[in-house]
Structure 1
């Protein structure tokens, strides 16, 4: 039995793949674990609309009914949003067991990349990647997203690493694994809710066409991994760096006090940030995801035009 027996590709996505039209993959843990209902559904629908408005076709990816689903219809999207945290959180290690059990799961950055690559989607938009957690020198808590970026040829458009992470260590691991970090219109690595961090990017590119050229060149060279395209959150939606850092420190301390670790840690910290910022972190998260989707769609269009 081939991998295709486990895939369920929507009619729209199947036609777009056959016709080599631009497609943007979208993850689903942001729907199941990143935001409460109904904001998660509103966000998911708005992000798909942004992709379409910028010339590409959205392919939201999830695990449903024993299948790797690529492209979710409105009714399925709403069911996933209502399921929320009752759904599993699917990383690479979980896929086989989840398919056999027939469970519903949101796909992480790593797993969305994996499934996108299986069907031939080359551009993926998300909020922020996972990375090295603060205190990883003792916990060894490092996201599988970083390993996936080193081995799966999908370009990931994001607002940097999630602010709750250790950014310099995350960048070190990306460098060690040969993953180029591209600043889209910036020389500085963005810090998710904040537009800047204290750390630079590997290369700055300013247009979708330039990014598409690098994606194509990396593929032509036979490079096994992907690219990280870091896009600063729009200035009007950003949160002051010192303010968000103070909230993150408080959230991390709360997680330690409550013994929250491993795959439960990121959802806990994001929810605690929502509480500590009076909901502003959620507003910023939605804004940056939509902005990343716009950039990713334009890159996908430019990449498609080369083929």
Structure 2
């Protein structure tokens, strides 16, 4: 393993024995949810992975090391901390070099998971092309990471605050396979339906594992996005969310929010506008993605 990575004993033993491991990001703990729901959700997601027969590995940078798995105390401290960097490809090594604490986005988690030998990663939703990107050029590094790093990412589609059609176009251009898991429609994070067709459809974990093995046998590099819809009982309909998102985008523009601060601002603003419903849906979809990721990791192992 890369000398800058420090796995927990549980994760190290699982990787050494070839047992299934699922990577989990930490930005949801530091920037995605308020305390104490952030830590409660992170622990619940780890429990879902274990119940599915895999070992969870929540990834973060602490004390100049990329931690592959966190202890309960470390997870709680991270959830309460202020000033934690939100890390992507550009600044992951910076946090390691300077000793700054950092939580990992999709891109940074994929890098760390790949270096650790973890093949499957569960998250909420990927980043993508922001609305108005034709003027701001605001496009998440997650998309390029999916094109270059061989990790399967299970998410409830792209965050609905984004320009989802353009996000799918960029993924197609980069050659990233986008698989609707049991659906022929690309999910829209809080909502099951986006009105956009999923480029590919696979109905079970064994099928995803077979697809990945074929890609590896052909030497096709890069990752895969498995788009897993939020459970029907937990979704907020797309038409309702569209109104909340439009209002939150207007609020962000009025406040001059830009760059990495945009997504946390919008998620917090939408949380208020939905009176907490968006958080409950977010928790449900992350758990659902962890369940599917664990099944895929087991099938691959």
When the two structures are superposed, what TM-score results if normalisation uses the length of structure 1? Answer: 0.97
Could you report, residue by residue, the CA deviation over 1:273-295 in whole angstroms, capped at 9, with x for unpaired residues?
00111110000000000000000
Q: CA deviation at 1:35?
A: 0.4
* Structure 1 residues not aligned, in runs of 5+: none
Structure 2 CA distance, aligned partners of 1:183 and 1:273?
26
Could you report, residue by residue, the CA deviation over 1:238-284 in whole angstroms, capped at 9, with x for unpaired residues?
00111111000000000001110110000000000001111100000
- State whether structure 2 residue 44 is matched by structure 1 residue 46: yes
2:193 partner SS: coil
- State whether structure 2 residue 193 is matched by structure 1 residue 162: no
Could you report, residue by residue, the CA deviation over 1:211-256 in whole angstroms, capped at 9, with x for unpaired residues?
1111111122212200000000000000011111100000000000
Q: Which of residues 193, 198, 205 in structure 2 aligns to 1:196?
A: 193
- State whether structure 2 residue 275 is matched by structure 1 residue 278: yes
Q: CA deviation at 1:95?
A: 1.6
- Is the contact between residue 151 and residue 224 of structure 1 (CA under 8 Å) also seen in structure 2? yes
1:218 equivalent in structure 2: 215
Q: CA deviation at 1:40?
A: 0.4
Could you report, residue by residue, the CA deviation over 1:106-152 in whole angstroms, capped at 9, with x for unpaired residues?
10000000000001100000000000000001000000000000000
2:287 equivalent in structure 1: 290
1:186 equivalent in structure 2: 183
1:12 equivalent in structure 2: 10
- Is the contact between residue 40 and residue 81 of structure 1 (CA under 8 Å) also seen in structure 2? yes
1:35 equivalent in structure 2: 33
- Is the contact between residue 91 and residue 108 of structure 1 (CA under 8 Å) also seen in structure 2? yes
2:175 partner SS: coil
Q: Aligned Cα RMSD in Å?
A: 0.8
Q: Which of residues 98, 119, 128 in structure 2 aligns to 1:101?
A: 98
Structure 1 CA distance, aligned partners of 2:199 and 2:39?
35
Could you report, residue by residue, the CA deviation over 1:32-51 in whole angstroms, capped at 9, with x for unpaired residues?
10001110010000000000
Once structures 1 and 2 are overlaid, which stretch shifts more, 160-169 or 211-220? 211-220
Length, aligned pairs only: 301
- State whether structure 2 residue 106 is matched by structure 1 residue 90: no
- Runs of 4 or more consecutive aligned structure 1 residues displaced over 3 Å after TM superposition: none
Q: CA deviation at 1:7?
A: 1.0
**1:105-124 correspondence runs (5 A):** 105-124=102-121
1:129 equivalent in structure 2: 126
2:78 equivalent in structure 1: 80
2:137 equivalent in structure 1: 140
Q: CA deviation at 1:99?
A: 1.0
Q: CA deviation at 1:5?
A: 2.4
* Structure 2 residues not aligned, in runs of 5+: none
- State whether structure 2 residue 64 is matched by structure 1 residue 66: yes
1:241 equivalent in structure 2: 238
- State whether structure 2 residue 272 is matched by structure 1 residue 300: no
- Is the contact between residue 153 and residue 219 of structure 1 (CA under 8 Å) also seen in structure 2? no
